[in-house]
A and B are shown apart, each in its own frame.
Chain A
Amino acid sequence: MKYTEEHEWLRVEDDVVVVGITEHAAEQLGDIVFVELPEVGTEVVKDDDVVVIESVKAASDILAPIDGEIVEVNDMLTDTPSTVNEDAIGKGWMFKIKTDDLSQLDEMMDEAAYKKFIG
């Protein structure tokens, strides 16, 4: 797993990267009540807004961590957004990006570095 400073995790499955938010992020956001996912087929550039999360506290944007094409989204979150709180790194995944260039992940934090990052 790789991590971004935006508190996303990335897991590589062949040439597809699964993206979600970290448990730490989910805890900070509080109870999540709404998730707006991108459309499958959308071409995204790193730092594009791709997902909107609304928690009991506020709305937050989730940015595309890499360049690529959205090939799948976790539709379950539309009806049960609380899944992100319950299982942020598992069933609470948000979208999958297909990319030709996995080297985009090279500079990202590993788990130890992320743990240090969130202190």
Chain B
Amino acid sequence: MDLSNFFNYEFVQRAFIAGILIAAISSILGVFLVLRRFSLIGDGLAHVTFGSVAVVMLMGVSPLYITLAALPLVMISSIAILKLTGSKRIQGDAAIGIVSSIGIATGIVLASLSGGYNLDLFSYLFGNILTVTQAELLLSLMVFIIVVAAVMIFYDDLLAVTFDEELAQSMGIKTKRINMILFLLTAVAAVLAMKIAGIMLVSAMLILPPLTALQLSLSFKTTIFSSALISVLSVLCGLLLAFLLNLPAGGTIVMVNICFLLVVLGTKKILSA
């Protein structure tokens, strides 16, 4: 099968479109998360997604709608992380660890209760972009529009909160509301990214493109654009490589992301020498 035939398949077209949308979503949100030292929230939410998928599987939800069904639980968990990070007694990274542990423990126990480790559940660990459903594609498009609109509408507030939360408060910015929006959108992005990269690699989709863009020393706005561009390129190159070399898509996309980061770091080093 050559490439032109490959693109005739509807599921392949869906995979590419969803991949581009999800790459843009996760990398735009990732800029704010990385700069606010919430990089591991994606990892935490991915583990929660594992638990949530196990819950909805046990409830007998059709495989076509598992992602959608898991979404509310992951969103509630993101609010729990936000509340815990705001607590004076628990530090931010510990809060992510707590929710993450609950998610993964729930997943393991429920998988065991449902009669051993379910193969479908394991497919979520590593992701499979070629199984993106029509509903998930629509959800990706909706979330992409929401994320882009939210960043445009709240750009000034997001910049201020990311720069210094206390300073933002002194400017009358409702920082709690901005944080809530950011965390809820990240929860949706984590669930969607799971479909591409799998639970194990969701955080890579959120962290690597922004990290690469940050190395370019650009303005805030340009960093957001660059992050999205790097992420989309990684998904396109990763999917093509995965097809041509018969490799798993999720892992290949993440490897391409890492290559981009290494190239940028290496170029910077050469230029500064």
Do A and B originate from a single complex?
no
Interface residues of A (CB under 8 A from B): none
Interface residues of B (CB under 8 A from A): none
